[in-house]
A = this chain, B = another copy of it.
Amino acid sequence: MKLYCFGESGNAYTAALTMELAGVKWDPIFVDFFKGEARSEAYKKINGMGEVPTLVTDNGVTLSQSGAIQQFIVDKTGKLGGDPKDKYETLRWVLWDNHKMSSQVGIQRFLMNFLPADKRPEGAINFLSGRIQVALSVLDSALADRDWLVGNSISMADISCCGYLFYDEPFGFNRSDWPNINTWLTRISNQPGWKHPYDLMKRAFISS
């Protein structure tokens, strides 16, 4: 299977880490995102909406949205899906992440790190900053009395929500401020086969 991806995308990382921890063989295909490759005519033949990540399966099926790629891997391997009785709770956290966490953190990290300083929309950054603190607070509280977001083992819910939280670039998240998130991230990175995003996928950003 081929994953069209680049290192800075936490959404690509969620897809990549799901495959890695499920023991699936896959190859990264680098998308030179910051040079506009995702908007090129060639890439539009892979994904008409210019989305990264995109998975192309061995059967030639194209999938996008990291949560849909995760579900495909879960169905294919029987791993990381959680207990079937927790189906809706698992889906809930994947959706919450797409709705409230990775979506906003992903934008913020882009604005704060990959735009020239004089082009950063400060009003948007300030606004997102408050919303991200709320999302982190929800996540930290949810992890206060349990090791994993759903059930008794790591699942696609954890891998979705952690998508942007292993990156070092500043975006308003400091592990030391959130003790439950901090120990949960350590728990995830202790999983056999875990790798940092930049060890799984080539980086696209080169600072000028």
Give every chain B residue within 8 A of A100 (Cβ-Cβ). 103
Q: Does A24 contact B (CB under 8 A)?
A: no
**What's the number of copies of this chain in the assembled complex?**
2
Q: How large is the interface on A (under 10, 10 to 19, 20 to 34, 35 or more residues)?
A: 20 to 34
Q: Does A126 contact B (CB under 8 A)?
A: yes
Give every chain B residue within 8 A of A138 (Cβ-Cβ). 49
Give every chain B residue within 8 A of A61 (Cβ-Cβ). 88
Chain A contact residues: over half helix, strand or loop, or mixed? helix
- A108-126 interface code vs B (CB 8 A; 1 in, 0 out): 0000000000000111101
> In the complex, what distance in Å separates the CA atom of A71 from the CA atom of B94?
13
> In the complex, what distance in Å separates the CA atom of A68 from the CA atom of B95?
8
> In the complex, what distance in Å separates the CA atom of A140 from the CA atom of B2?
29
Which residues of A are at the interface with B, using a C-beta cutoff of 8 A?
Answer: 48-49, 61, 63-68, 71-72, 87-89, 91-92, 94-96, 98-100, 102-103, 121-124, 126-128, 138, 141-142
